[in-house]
Structure 1
């Protein structure tokens, strides 16, 4: 028996896989590789691993927010990036078909990270200059049951439109949606992402587009009905051909976990991720531009995890 144990230890050493006893393994759910979630999650995993606190993390490309919060519930993921509106719906068991009647009261927030802007992008040859112009057009509204589909529904409602008013409501993910726009098989696309998403950059580089504003009374109504939205102005020249600012709305990218993760484990991850703000902000321009500890604890869609509460209190923030 001792010989077998010794041989096993030697085999592990030979492959370089020597892990301390009691190591916690954490998988961080992100999104498509063309979005902002993936590089942020990958960078976060490295920060956690480099901290050497007994946690080994890896980032996984996923279908995005709805998948992520469901995978947190099943234990397939331990930490995930998710839109604050999707986390809000999942925590309460409403809003999205996948969550109806299945409130996940184990969901906990670690931090809000940066705004995720709703981009409504149209082919210039489709002559779409306002949300009202989407009537009768072929519009990519996101996968069935996705957060993007829910956002598209809410925005259209603010303009007194329904999916049935569209020429075609195309239910596909963002990667396929970009391809349909490039092929001329879609006229417009709803795309919620951090500023400068590579998928949107790719679309703007290959197709003559215009960005459709969400503003005025319609934006006011949307924010009143759904308080997780905030106004956001897309800066000029964020994308090729976008020469002026564009009024829109945004939700927040949040880092989410569950009560299945211990206070100690989450506290150690918080220290690794947010203990050195300079290293965190170096992961992506959106974090560099928008993240602050004060914003990280505002307008959260579910309670903070106890480990996050401990960390943010040590940072001098009044949280509970």
Structure 2
């Protein structure tokens, strides 16, 4: 679908009635066979219910190149797809990006991904605990021996949950049921009474959480304590986070928790011109990009090019940031000089990088 650049921009708004979000979430999953089409930019996202998919579709709308926002199992699956060359770029939580670069946690068997590169970070993603009001759950510790949806394997929400459980000395066996439904199914599971709580690491407002609150009067509660304090103090990718008051209902209080950042990543082998084009589309009119979802409202250039990025900046992104004067040569996160990179790219581009798109006017 081609997007008319003259179409009205969507202003940031609360989730209810946000027609821009409805349009962005309307895309259906695209068959994985499209990855083989090297003229098309493939963006790994996550569940259709989350902000990752909105972000992928937003990027496609900003690009003139053929582009697909492809659903996936989430951050871990996206990072694996980047390593295997199955997608052009992908979204991943900042904590899982760090794990992939370091070859730790769920990436210990695969080892460090030395080819992983950052483009920029996007919105903050608070770790969100949603509970049935009749469950009696008032804090995280009340989840012991309760039924909880922890997220599907490969998702960032499950990865963050497992990290928090480890910090607390818990395992999944501490729950009476550890359900593994994806984000787009968990709110109905909560409302049907099959689980007492669900967790989601996501930007706000979010359609899945809004659905749980609207359909079964669910509540969002604080997540804190000694384990959270340690995670925030000891890791570079976790920060304290606040879910603003009244974002879902007029009487919803502000919720204190912790969280990560959504980041956009690619392989070092990805053509720098493609990456430069993507970064240019976002930062040449950042206000336009920010208008697509309320979660982007607080984004700044400084935060996007510095926070949550464990992997070195991709050559194409770094070139753009230098052109804008945002990063000096001495401040670059990669060691090679531009000349060395150009020489290397000339030698390897034919075999390692995707072909330039031929059709420059379709957004799917």
Deviation at 1:316, TM superposition (A): 2.2
Contact 1:131–1:159 (8 Å) recurs in 2:
no
Listed one character per residue, the Cα deviations across residues 215-243 of structure 1 (whole Å, up to 9, x for unaligned) are 34332112124331110111111223762
Cα distance in structure 2, aligned partners of 1:270 and 1:242: 39
Aligned residues: 291
Distance 1:42-1:25 versus aligned 2 partners, 3 A rule: same
Match of 1:106 among 115, 122, 127: 115
Distance 1:273-1:150 versus aligned 2 partners, 3 A rule: same
Asked whether 1:82 is paired with 2:101, we answer no
Asked whether 1:71 is paired with 2:86, we answer no
Asked whether 1:291 is paired with 2:306, we answer no
Asked whether 1:186 is paired with 2:195, we answer yes
Q: Specify the SS of the correspondent of 1:297.
A: helix
Distance 1:88-1:242 versus aligned 2 partners, 3 A rule: farther
Listed one character per residue, the Cα deviations across residues 41-88 of structure 1 (whole Å, up to 9, x for unaligned) are 111112111xxxxx4322112222112111112221101111111111
Larger strand proportion of the pair:
1
Cα distance in structure 2, aligned partners of 1:203 and 1:99: 35
Cα distance in structure 1, aligned partners of 2:154 and 2:262: 19
Contact 2:49–2:183 (8 Å) recurs in 1:
no
Deviation at 1:306, TM superposition (A): 0.9
Asked whether 1:136 is paired with 2:151, we answer no
Deviation at 1:161, TM superposition (A): 3.1
**Map 1:218-257 → 2, pairs under 5 A:** 218-240=227-249, 243-257=252-266
Q: Specify the SS of the correspondent of 1:41.
A: helix
Asked whether 1:304 is paired with 2:319, we answer no
Asked whether 1:44 is paired with 2:59, we answer yes
Asked whether 1:316 is paired with 2:331, we answer no
Gap regions ≥5 residues in structure 1: 1-22, 50-54
Q: Specify the SS of the correspondent of 1:304.
A: coil
Distance 1:60-1:99 versus aligned 2 partners, 3 A rule: farther
Contact 1:132–1:159 (8 Å) recurs in 2:
no
Bigger Rg over Cα? 1
Cα distance in structure 1, aligned partners of 2:229 and 2:182: 28
Gap regions ≥5 residues in structure 2: 1-37, 333-364
Give 1:18's aligned residue. Answer: none
Tell me which of the two structures has the higher relative contact order, counting C-alpha pairs closer than 8 angstroms and 6 or more residues apart.
2
Cα distance in structure 2, aligned partners of 1:294 and 1:313: 13
Deviation at 1:144, TM superposition (A): 2.9
Give 1:124's aligned residue. Answer: 133
Deviation at 1:93, TM superposition (A): 1.9
Cα distance in structure 2, aligned partners of 1:165 and 1:258: 38
Deviation at 1:188, TM superposition (A): 0.7
Cα distance in structure 2, aligned partners of 1:216 and 1:241: 27
**Map 1:176-215 → 2, pairs under 5 A:** 176-215=185-224
Contact 1:204–1:241 (8 Å) recurs in 2:
no
Deviation at 1:24, TM superposition (A): 4.0
Give 1:57's aligned residue. Answer: 67
TM-score in terms of structure 1 length: 0.85
Deviation at 1:261, TM superposition (A): 1.2
TM-score in terms of structure 2 length: 0.75
Deviation at 1:94, TM superposition (A): 1.6
**C-alpha RMSD of the superposition:** 1.9
